[in-house]
Amino acid sequence: RASLTLGKSKMDHKALALEREERLRARGMDPAAPDAGGKTASNPWGGQNVRAQAPRQSSIFDAHRSIRMAHSLGLIICFVMLLLLFFPWVMHTKILLVCIMGGAVWLARAGGTWLHNSLLPPTLHEGAAPTEQEVTAHDKSLFAPRLSSESFNEEWYVLLDNLAWCCTYGKKNCITTAMYSQDEPLSLGKISRITWSKVSEGVFRC
């Protein structure tokens, strides 16, 4: 009886396989193709990458300038507030600091348009204000939150790029060529050195 059950099971599987091949042929697909059966199921424990994934948000590097500025400003505010939480004399203002941090997180995640229209001077604008779709589509990086070395590196590079943008008045002043020279990669030391060389001479606009 067991052998009859096993034989019947094999026949059922064979019939299902034939039916599947017929459906694939009807769709114009090759049944012999390894991926003809559809999307690969996701593996919750890692392993190989799945075929069917949600579309990835655009990188923060590709985001509108005002979105990147909001991201960096929010990150700086959060960092300063975290440092202040460790000082005893601000213990009674912890709730206020947490509220400010909450506002900074909102600024980084969704405040690009508001920053462009409200706080950024025209010289730091790069085109029109970002649209709601642009704000929604950009990668939130550390504010996803996604705490990884890649996210930290992204945030640091964007922060340096924004700092250079501000120091050159949106690539419009006399230190722009030196700042963006390919002879030396952009770094905090390079930005500080080039900017100070002009400020120390009393030159703020050139």
DSSP 107-138: HHHH-HHHHHHHTS-GGG--SSPPPHHHHHHB
Residue 55 has pLDDT above 50, yes or no: no
Q: CA of 111: how far to CAs of 71, 101, 124, in Å?
A: 8, 14, 16
pLDDT, position 166: 94
Does residue 110 surpass a pLDDT of 80?
yes
The model carries a pTM of 0.65
**What is the overall mean pLDDT for the chain?**
76
- At 65, which helix (H) or strand (E)? helix 65-84
Q: Which two tokens stand for residue 74?
A: 């929010």
Give the other-Cβ count within 10 Å of 59's Cβ. Answer: 12
Provide mean pLDDT across the span 80-89: 82
- Per-residue pLDDT for 133 more than 80? yes
Q: What are 27-50's pLDDT values in tens digits? A: 555 556 544 444 433 433 333 433
Name the more confident of 142 and 190: 190
